[in-house]
Amino acid sequence: MAKHNYERIPYLVAYQNDSAVRDVYGGLAEIIVLECYQLKPDVPSDTAVVFMHPIGGGAYLPMVNALARAGHHAIYAGSRFRGTDSALLMEKVVQDLGEVIKDAKNRLGYQKVVLAGWSGGGSLSLFYQQQAQHPTVTASPSGDGPDLTKLELIPADAVMLLAAHISRHGTLTEWIDPSILDESDPSKRDPELDLYNPDNPNQPPYSADFLERFREAQIARNRRITAWVKGKLAELKAEGRGDEEHCFVVYGTMADPRWLDPTVDPNERKPGTCYLGEPRVVNNSPVGLARFCTLRSWLSQWSYDDAHADGIACGHDIAVPTLVIGNLADDACTPSHTRRLFEAIGTGVIGYRDKEMHEIPGANHYYAGHDQRETLAKAVAVASDWLARHGLSGAVND
């Protein structure tokens, strides 16, 4: 495959903010400004591969750069919530992605768009595509905007899911620490559910009974937080303060048995670690999922039963060609996520068959490290071949 030079062009997508509240710190409240990069190779293309993650941070991902070097025009766009998700509403991120796609077509001149859902961008891409095909969501779970049925979202021509997980709320629930019994005092724990307690009688390899009890307790904790959130919103409304928010901290969000027991959802990952570092430390570190939250954002992003951006549920309605790539040494998105997504795609569409799944041996979540060059090349080759077969490639192959 030929290697191409490419130009990285920073640009902004700005549009009118119709939100009733200020969503992010700084800037003009009445304007949404999205920071974007166009990676433009030295070959023409009528197709743009568009990346967006709910909180960004991937503009220099190895996969994004490698696709451009392979001759594919790529766009990496940040949402309005770039760098922080404490007030993030997934419905607003869909709105942002819609504006980026409109700009790619109307200003940059691309005729076709491929959604590239990396990691947490996977469920976002599926949520976007579902709503672009047949919009049904009129508000976020808290009852706030935006109304996606009024946004005239442009459907993508295809979807690529790359090292993607099933959803933010599903992933959080699989990672949340169920040993915490009191949200106001995380030191109060059930010792038999505390993975990091050396006196816990349940140690790796974990029994099937323990894993079942553990997973049930994780879901129960998510639902307890959700019940409290809904109660707090009702309380504010009853006090005539329905336009106000309430901030809170969620402790213990990196306690997945997978990280300590490699026989659970097995792949080639290194036991005792995860993509953010040592799980015991990450469990309460500032970088953990959902650490700092607001009421409305919890319902939209993290609620097990309420969040709309569910990759499995949205995947059922996908009616365009879809490529799913899983990394077999991934220490963030393990094989069951890849396979559940693949199995869900198009199952609600009569006659749908245009989907493929590939797994890359030895590849970690980010293709990070000198030993990952070969795995990255394999993943790009898979994507390039698939794009070419679907008439979505501007690449020139040897």
For residue range 85-121, list pLDDT tens digits in order: 999 999 999 999 999 999 999 999 999 999 999 999 9
Cα dihedral across residues 20, 86, 367, 173: positive or negative? negative
CA gap 30, 17 in Å, rounded: 5
The answer to whether the beta carbons of residues 178 and 220 sit under 8 Å apart is yes
The answer to whether the beta carbons of residues 264 and 279 sit under 8 Å apart is no
pLDDT in tens, 243-267: 999 999 999 999 999 999 999 999 9
Its pTM stands at 0.96
Q: Which pLDDT belongs to residue 397? A: 44
Ranges of the chain whose pLDDT falls below 70: 394-398
Q: Which pLDDT belongs to residue 266? A: 97
Type of residue found at 53: H
Give 356's Cβ-side CA count (13 Å radius). Answer: 14
Q: Which pLDDT belongs to residue 302? A: 98
The answer to whether the beta carbons of residues 159 and 125 sit under 8 Å apart is yes
Domains of the chain: 6-167+307-389 (3.40.50.1820), 171-302 (no CATH)
The answer to whether the beta carbons of residues 367 and 58 sit under 8 Å apart is no
CA gap 107, 36 in Å, rounded: 14
> Long-range contacts made by residues 302-305, C-beta under 8 angstroms, separation at least 24?
302/168, 302/169, 302/172, 302/222, 302/225, 302/250, 303/141, 303/169, 303/222, 303/226, 303/229, 304/169, 304/170, 304/173, 304/219, 304/222, 304/223, 304/226, 305/223, 305/226
Q: Which pLDDT belongs to residue 29? A: 76
Q: Which pLDDT belongs to residue 391? A: 96
Ramachandran quadrant class, 56 (left: phi over 0; alpha: psi -120 to 50; beta: rest): left
CB atoms near residue 220 (< 10 Å): 12
CA distances from 347 to 131, 155, 325, 353 (A): 16, 18, 18, 9
The single residue listed with the structure tokens 């579902």 is 130
Q: Which pLDDT belongs to residue 394? A: 63
**What's the mean per-residue pLDDT of the chain?**
95
Q: Where are the alpha helices (DSSP H) in 164-293?
A: 168-175, 208-238, 257-260, 279-282
